[in-house]
Amino acid sequence: MARVLETPVQQRFSDIDPFMHVNNVAQQAYFDVGKVDFYRKVLGAEVLLGDLRIVTVSTSTSYIGQVRLYDDVRVLTTCEKVGNKSITLFQRLVVGGQTLSESRSVMVVFSFARQSGEPVPAAWRESLLSE
């Protein structure tokens, strides 16, 4: 089982719709907060700024329950799969132990200098798959 990283999320007033729910766009931003935290802690800060970076190519989200104003929201992030050039993350928004939405994202390793996809570096693969 790969590691699961838990990231607390600070809600903003602008995240809330007229029904006092966190809107779907804001939930996607919460998943991004979890991704950045995961990359920084698992792969190191340079993955966000170096020549080789991670670029999202696909996301799929299921909205299971309502995230509300004042909920203590946490993003749980884990690496589900490491391919040759791709990484799949699975994330859940959790409130009080209950999953309220979940998202699966496929990313590729991309070289900005060469403007091309690259194989997942061995060090990244090891970090992503370790517990």
d(CA 38, CA 99): 19
> Where do the domains of the chain lie?
4-129
What pLDDT, in 10s, does the model give residues 29-42? 999 999 999 999 99
Torsion (CA) 118, 124, 128, 130 in degrees, nearest 10: 140
CATH 3.40.50.720 fits 4-129, yes or no: no
* Alpha helices (H) in 23-101, listed in sequence order: 24-38
What pLDDT, in 10s, does the model give residues 77-102? 999 999 999 999 999 999 999 999 99
Average pLDDT, the chain: 93
d(CA 38, CA 71): 22
What pLDDT, in 10s, does the model give residues 65-78? 999 989 999 999 99
Distance of CA 103 to the CA centre of its chain: 8
**Residue linked to tokens 């190519």:** 57
